[in-house]
Structure 1
């Protein structure tokens, strides 16, 4: 190396030398550009934080569709698993009915049902402290009452002539959220993202049609492309003229309301599901492009991306709404205690037993209740006891006096002897009157 001519070495390694000089020049240029950019952003630390944030945003842009798809599949499995069981719908109704009595004057408007627990959301300013089976979960305010599903009463404490009409609206924290259609404003308006709000309205309409009796749900045109409904004005008139059944008002589902509204019909109990902002006093359900749904003015926020597909899969398994309990099941105090007293079985025989036989439809949904199940049994027991007593009081036939004996007429429990009437020319003898 000491004897090597520098010019010969440069001539022999000229390509390699020029290559490395180009690499070093490019590196220096990149460093100068990065330094210039970093100085414009406030220094090396600020530029590093900005770079990390940009990298995270870019990674999230690629990973967000995958996470959304996985979340959609998870929500779909949860909704299908919960909505296909009748117990989920019945627990939601029982929770709302129980909370309506315990939280008065506040009114429950939504319920969230999980695998083991159920929570009720309350609306109002004067909400009492939870009592009985209800507790406030840690970290929650007094507007959310929670209890175990096993603690719910087996029967509605007090129906008040109004049965909860619950419709599923989405998933909230790995639980299914239901909205009560029987309370609050008469109009429920679904607004927000064009695709999400249309899917939510169609899912709500399908649930209402499956749960309510057949003539109560009227669907206008424009709600679903596969269903050709009538003109919105005719559908509105039909819904207004439909009378309530079993205490449940009619429901109109429409893409928009007629303008102006007909004023020649009166139906104060009409419920409306409409697409858009709605008019007047409405309950607004706002959706966004990420598939979230919020009930405006409330803390309820759910994911509704899988709601339509889940409802389509479990539509045949959705149970109907139970009718309100009759007044006979709401007897309190001594009046209900008398029905269980053995010495008043005769009174029970002429009371609930005759009512059940005269109006069997009123007792159809309450056949397992104590009053409806034991009243006919006690009536038969009282009748058998009366027959047995009368039979025991009568003397045996072997000890009765002969038919011609004068004492035969005085034997207790023995009918008078039958003898031919020899003074009557009418022929055969007549049976004596009892």
Structure 2
């Protein structure tokens, strides 16, 4: 009995060992067909990382959104920040006649000014050129020179944060062409135009801006052609191109590509904004902009004009197609051609 029992136990163990060896051999054959253990383990590792990222990324994205929303809200309500950004534009423009500053990157401690026509110019102290892009000039906010008298102060609008969420990007609507066209993904472009129009409506004098039909579903504006001709309108916000030239003394914010020369702001499929003519590394995050403007709309500082009245329409209308005397790099074509992978030190 003991011998039989012992023999059966040994046979059972050997049977289990045989089954285990068969499984190992089969698994090894399958793994070899899949490319080997190293490839299989790499695939498993990637799947685990992707699964973890799928759970973590929405939480991280929400936290990024909230941080950038707070940053935008703080800057929009900070009248001193607006004034210093305008002073930085004026100071940069006064360094050389060939300077054409068109955007500002505003942070707590320093200000960056994006300039065209100055790639070979060495910035004077206290300015410093960015280590990665010579067209981005930095200055500490404490070192900004006193404001000087100019014929027309820059008119800045906030369009979002940089890709890293550390700086607020502002565009000067009075530099370059008379029209700014926001186009691309309609949902993003429309929200950006609405937020910019709200800023202009609050900061400019009453009646200086006319929002045409089609911009906001709750605003029954007049047709675009009539809005562009309305007496007293300085800025016109509308959808699509005008049938004729933009009247003299007017500027336009267009949802869609406008007629004639225009600064182009493209809404990308990844929900970012790309300013054509700016360095390729500059990607703007506009997602928190609409909510930040809605929260801060009653606390936006008014725009200060040096000469009181912001415009004086000319007696004869000029076609916007002839408005092409713009420094290279500010509209249409990027001034960087071979360094698309280059990133500024702040982004």
* TM-score using structure 1 length: 0.63
Instruction: Tell me if the contact between 2:98 and 2:118 (Cα under 8 Å) persists in the aligned partners.
Output: no
Counterpart of 2:256 in structure 1 is: 276
SS at match of 1:214: coil
Deviation string, structure 1 residues 10-46 (Cα, Å, up to 9, x no partner): 99x7xx99888777655544432222111xxxx5545
Query: In 2, Cα distance between the equivalents of 1:216 and 1:197?
Result: 23
Q: 1:9 to 1:132 in 2, by over 3 A?
A: closer
- Shift in Å, 1:192: 2.4
Instruction: Tell me if the contact between 1:167 and 1:180 (Cα under 8 Å) persists in the aligned partners.
Output: yes
Residue from 211, 232, 240 that aligns with 1:242: 232
Instruction: Tell me if the contact between 1:101 and 1:158 (Cα under 8 Å) persists in the aligned partners.
Output: no
Query: In 1, Cα distance between the equivalents of 2:85 and 2:222?
Result: 33
Query: In 2, Cα distance between the equivalents of 1:93 and 1:127?
Result: 24
Counterpart of 1:426 in structure 2 is: none
Most deviating of 187-196 and 54-63? 54-63
CA root-mean-square deviation: 2.9
Instruction: Tell me if the contact between 1:104 and 1:127 (Cα under 8 Å) persists in the aligned partners.
Output: no
- Give 1:93-172 correspondences, 5 Å limit: 93-124=86-117, 128-137=121-130, 139-155=131-147, 157-159=148-150, 161-172=151-162
Query: In 2, Cα distance between the equivalents of 1:20 and 1:278?
Result: 78
Higher helix share: 1
Counterpart of 2:296 in structure 1 is: 314
SS at match of 2:33: helix
Q: 1:214 to 1:62 in 2, by over 3 A?
A: same
Query: In 2, Cα distance between the equivalents of 1:231 and 1:23?
Result: 80
SS at match of 2:4: coil
Please tell me whether residue 199 in structure 1 is matched to residue 199 in structure 2.
Answer: no
Residue from 65, 85, 88 that aligns with 1:72: 65
Please tell me whether residue 209 in structure 1 is matched to residue 206 in structure 2.
Answer: no
Higher strand share: 2
Deviation string, structure 1 residues 24-70 (Cα, Å, up to 9, x no partner): 655544432222111xxxx5545554554454444434433222111
Deviation string, structure 1 residues 183-217 (Cα, Å, up to 9, x no partner): 11111111222322121111111111111112111
The structure with more radius of gyration: 1
Please tell me whether residue 295 in structure 1 is matched to residue 275 in structure 2.
Answer: yes
